[in-house]
Every structure is written in C-alpha cells, then in structure tokens.
Amino acid sequence: MHEILSLTSYWLPLIFFIIALVYSSVGLGGGSAYTALMAIAGMNVLAIPMVSLVLNLFVTTAGSINFIRNGHARIRIIAPFILSSMPMAYLGGSLNISPNIFYWILLLSLIFVAARIYLWSNTSLKLKLESKQKLIISLFAGSVLGLVAGIVGIGGGVYLVPLVIILGLGTEKQAAASGAIFIWLNSLAGLLSRIQYNSIDITQYLPMILAVLLGGVIGSFMGSYRFSPQRMEKILGFVIIVAILFLTNKIFGIVV
C-alpha cells in the first residue's frame, strides 16, 4: 500500500503531465492512459473513473479554449455526436460494476485504442456518404463512446478525431477541436452522474489535476499551431501498448 501511495504522490503527476501534453496536442484528454495507470497503480476502482473524468475535464478545458480561440471549432461537426453521447455518458457513470468487469472493459478499450492508432491510421480515406448516413453514424458512434466514457473514464476522442476526417466533416484541426470539446462535455456528464452515486475526496488528487492542467495548456497550444497529429498519435500509441501489457499482467497475474 505504501508503494502505491508513493507512486500516486510522486510519479503519477509527472507521468500525467507528459501524457496530458501529448494527448492535448491532438485534441485528446488522455483518459485512456490516466485510467490504465491508476488501475496499474492499484487505486480504488470506484475512484479511478471519477478521477480520470476530472483529469479529462481539466485537460480538454485548456484544449477547447485554445482550439476555439484559433478558429478550429465547428458546431455543425460536433452537435450530432454530443446529442447521443452525453445521455449515455451520464448512464455509464451511474452503473455500478465489479472490479473484474471494470478491468476487462478498460483492457478491451485500450486494445481498440491501439488498433485504431496502428491499424486504422489512414485518414486520407474519405467515405462518400449522404448527409443522412453521416448523421446516423455520428449518432451511433457518439452513443457508444459516451457510454464507455461514463463507465471507465475514457473520453473517446481517439476515435472521434479520425472519424470526423474520414466522414469528410472537417479538417484535421477542426477534428482535433471537435475531439477536445466532445471529451469535455462527456467527461462533465459522466462526472455529474458519478458524483450522485459515488463519493470520494477529490482534493487528495490535486497534484494530478494541476499536472494535467499544465500539460494540457502547453500541449494544446503547441498542437493548435505546429504539432503533427499523426506523429503525436504514435507516441500516444506507445503509451497505450505499455499500459495494455501492464494491465494484462494485472488481470491474469502472469508475466507478459
């Protein structure tokens, strides 16, 4: 227990700062990495999603402001996703699942994140769909991503950003802006739900919050101006793969 507290107090804020900087540079909150690392560190399963949602909220607050200020945000792009995702994020936050189910949902979510980055990285592909078809896909994707956000604290922006581009809804910068706003709103919905059903002292996680806030401000600033989304996603993917290995070891109790 002492080792877990030491890791939480000293190492996680530093690691979270780096993750927030990388994730926010491509319009993401970092919830997948935060959740995985807290699970690996042995933190309480009830606390993990709530803390992750708070961290997501702080990172994407800075990201949303920077992307909006630089003229990349488009309401027409994000609205259909938000319409279906926020109610589902609230529903996900109200669910009380066992630690084993939580870890499995988290592991599968991370595997899909890594697969998206390394196997579905070609966003030059544009689907030729009618407006109605794009709307249906947006609503469905929003509902699934919102539910996952509420349950485990993963915002879903890693899927939303390339989906916006592939559907031909916007540019890379507009997609990144949509990802930041999407994660912010769903994190808020999931957090409001969890506050009603779970009670933790969030002040003890203040160092993590300050670390991701600082990383989010710096990363989103550089991302909205100069960083390549593809390059930063490869770094993100490496972090996720490492987290998958450690989490698999935690679940199965074997050396991976």
Whole-number average pLDDT of the chain: 79
Query: Which pLDDT value is given to residue 139?
Result: 93
Query: Which pLDDT value is given to residue 231?
Result: 65
For residues 149 and 55, give the distance between their C-alpha atoms in angstroms, rounded to a whole number: 13
State the sign of the Cα–Cα–Cα–Cα dihedral 82, 83, 89, 90. Answer: positive
For residues 194 and 133, give the distance between their C-alpha atoms in angstroms, rounded to a whole number: 33
pLDDT digits (tens, 9 = 90+) for 150-184: 888 887 777 788 888 888 888 878 888 888 888 88
Are the C-beta atoms of residues 181 and 64 closer than 8 Å to each other? yes
pLDDT digits (tens, 9 = 90+) for 183-220: 888 888 888 888 887 667 777 778 888 888 888 778 76
Are the C-beta atoms of residues 53 and 194 closer than 8 Å to each other? yes
Task: Please state the pTM of the whole predicted model.
Answer: 0.76
Within 8 A by CB and 6+ apart from 134, the residues are 167, 168, 169
Query: Which pLDDT value is given to residue 3?
Result: 42
pLDDT mean over 34-58: 82
